[in-house]
Each structure stands twice: as structure tokens, then as C-alpha cells.
Structure 1
Amino acid sequence: MTKDDFPGWHGTTILAVRRGGEVVVAGDGQVSLGQTVIKGSARKVRRLGKDGREVVAGFAGSTADAFTLLERLEKKLEASPGQLARACVELAKDWRTDKYLRNLEAMLIVTDGADLYVITGAGDVLEPEHDVTAIGSGGNFALAAARGLMETDHSAEEVARKAMAIAAEICVYTNGNLTVESIRK
């Protein structure tokens, strides 16, 4: 069976919302293989770092690939403490140019509470507009819902939870079993 014959892993929605000095990253728990739900309680949002240089990251794509990228990001953060932008750019540069890394299939959302970035394998380090970003199968649904909810007085966590609930109702690859992490700067 070749890679093209394999039905592919689907089922990630990661959403980040920044409001009132807080950034909330929420991720659903569903992992699907083709039309089958393999797991409903995956944890795709994690805390990285320590000693006050904490970062929250969410990932979409291959789990093994994402973990490899998260480990690399942690090393970049150790080399550049307190400089999330620099660590993200260095990771994206390596990801795009390294023969092994360039084959990794994942995307990351990372935040230190002040800055918020989406990192892709194409070498992109993107800062979202409107203080909201999303990735994964249901990312566009969650993004649209969150953008609409930003017009309300809801907290960052309330916006994230409501937007993820809307995405879970629309996207068959997204469930309502959330992991939610928040960080302030």
C-alpha cells in the first residue's frame, strides 16, 4: 500500500482566540481514519517550556510529525528564551529546508500569551488577523464561528468553546471532547 492509497487521518480542529490579555487554544479530541472514528479523546493542545517561558501549542496533522515539530520548537525556545517569534521562524526555516523535516505533515498554532502564530511546513510563520486563528479539518468552521462571536462580550474561553461546539455540529471530523489551555502575558 502506498501513501496515496492510504485513506488518510482526519479529525482535528484547533482554534486560538486572543482577548483581554489572554489567549485560549482549544482542540477537539477526534481522530478519524477514512470514515471511521479511531479515537475520540486525543489531546492535541499542550503546554511547552517551563520557568515562566511557557508556550501553549496545538497541532493538526500526523501526530508523530507534530510531536517531532513540538520537540524541535522546544529546543528552539531553549536556545532563544522569551523569543517566540525567533523560535518559530527558526523552526519554519528548518522545516522547509531539512531533507527529513520537509516531509512532515502537520501544522502548529503556538502562543506565549503575547504573540500568536501559525507555523506551516511551507515555511510560513503567520500572525492571525482579528485575534483568531484555526487549523485542521474543521478549522474554517471554528474560525468563522469565532470571528462572529468576537462581536460579543464573551471571554476568550467562552468564544473558543462556543466556536468549537459549532464546528463539531458541522464538521464530521470534529467532536465536542475539548482540550482547552489558556495563557496570559
Structure 2
Amino acid sequence: MFEGTTIVAVKKENGDYAMAGDGQVTLSERVVIKHKARKVRRIYNDEVIIGFAGSVSDAITLAEKFESYLEKHSGNIKRAAVEVAQSWRRDKVLTKLEAMLIALNKDTLLIISGTGEVIEPDDSVIAIGSGGSYALAAAKALVENTDLKAKEIVLKSMEIAANICVYTNNEITVESV
């Protein structure tokens, strides 16, 4: 379902946070149709970083819906995410969207799914997409065993995932604070 993308995010205690995503878009699990897609971007006055995975149109719909609720709630990520989830569950068409989104700012790290879940991880690292488990493992190891900055951790984690996952490439976009 989420093939062709990997997104990883790290939020450190000192206000250092970053997110990275690869650029690969895969059609029908067999053909790479784009190498440099940008799936990580800043929104809400550059205070919030989002990264999305899944069906392209579904992921963009989820990101746009989240961004509109973020504006409505003055940048409150948790409130916007809950409202997206509530609206998602009320709409019979939207409940079938195949997408996930990571939202990150200085205070909050969340996953928002296209099926209406909002998940706050137990620790400061999260990843989604086909190579997400590889990037997640790498990021957790780097957070626990190095003094690297968040930007360096997400970049290195994406490089590791790209070397393992066929749906993840080395065209990496990083956004950090």
C-alpha cells in the first residue's frame, strides 16, 4: 500500500528536530516513474514539517486537509490532527484513502493515517512508508548511540534505508530546525 516512499523524523529534547524523505515514486510496484518527488515540506509559517507516504493523490489530500485544520487551530498540531481524524471517519469516501502523514514541530511528533488514526510515538523517532522500518531502526540506533544532530540522524537513516529497500532511493529531502 505505501510502496515507493520512506519518511523518517527525529525530535530531540533540545528543540533540535528534522524530517527526511526519499524522492521515489513507484507505479504498480514495478516501474519507478519519478526519482525526485518532494514528500517532505514545511507548512504553517515554516513552523511545522510534514512528510507523507501512500497513494500520491490520497497523500496530498491528507496533507491539504491537515494543513487547513492547522490554520484553523493556529498551528496546534494535536488539535488539527484530531479534527482531521474525526472528519476522516465521518466521510465514507475519505475513510478508504491509502496514505499516512508525519507532522512535526518543536513540541509535537505525530503520525496521522488516512484511515483516521492519530498516533504519538513513545519516543522521539518515527518513520513511515515501505522503507520505514529500516529508517526507524537506523534512527533509533543513532539517537541512542551518538551525539549527532537530528538532521544528521535522519539523513544517515534514509541513506541506510535506501541501501536496503528497493522502494527507497537516494534523492533525499531534509527539513530541519
TM-score, with structure 2 as normaliser:
0.92
Structure whose CA Rg is larger? 1
Cα separation, 2, equivalents of 1:74 and 1:153 = 33
What is the DSSP-based 3-state SS (H/G/I as helix, E as strand, rest coil) of the residue aligned with 2:140?
Answer: helix
Cα separation, 1, equivalents of 2:151 and 2:75 = 24
Cα separation, 2, equivalents of 1:157 and 1:101 = 33
For the pair 1:66 / 2:44, whether they are aligned, the reply is: no
Q: Which residue of 2 aligns with 1:89?
A: 82
AA matched with 1:35: R
TM-score, with structure 1 as normaliser:
0.89
Deviation at 1:100, TM superposition (A): 2.1
Post-superposition Cα deviations, 1:110-152, rounded to whole Å, max 9, x if no partner, equal 0122101001133221111220000000000000011111121
AA matched with 2:161: A
CA contact (8 A) 1:17 1:160 kept: yes
For the pair 1:165 / 2:159, whether they are aligned, the reply is: yes
AA matched with 1:158: E
| Mapping for residues 78-157 of structure 1, pairs under 5 Å | 78-150=71-143, 151-157=145-151
Could you tell me which runs of 5 or more consecutive residues in structure 1 were left unpaired when the two chains were aligned.
1-7
What is the DSSP-based 3-state SS (H/G/I as helix, E as strand, rest coil) of the residue aligned with 1:14?
Answer: strand
Select which of 46, 49, 63 maps to 2:44.
Answer: 49
Cα RMSD, aligned residues only: 1.5
Select which of 13, 16, 25 maps to 1:31.
Answer: 25
Deviation at 1:32, TM superposition (A): 1.4
Q: Which residue of 1 aligns with 2:173?
A: 179
AA matched with 2:122: E
Cα separation, 2, equivalents of 1:103 and 1:61 = 12
CA gap 1:9/1:80 in 2 versus in 1, 3 angstroms: closer
Q: How many residues align?
A: 174
Cα separation, 2, equivalents of 1:78 and 1:157 = 26
Structure 1 consecutive aligned stretches of length 4 or more whose deviation exceeds 2 Å: none
For the pair 1:17 / 2:7, whether they are aligned, the reply is: no
For the pair 1:77 / 2:70, whether they are aligned, the reply is: yes
CA contact (8 A) 2:62 2:114 kept: no
Q: Which residue of 2 aligns with 1:5?
A: none
Q: Which residue of 2 aligns with 1:3?
A: none
Deviation at 1:9, TM superposition (A): 7.0
Aligned residues: percent identity? 54
What is the DSSP-based 3-state SS (H/G/I as helix, E as strand, rest coil) of the residue aligned with 2:7?
Answer: strand
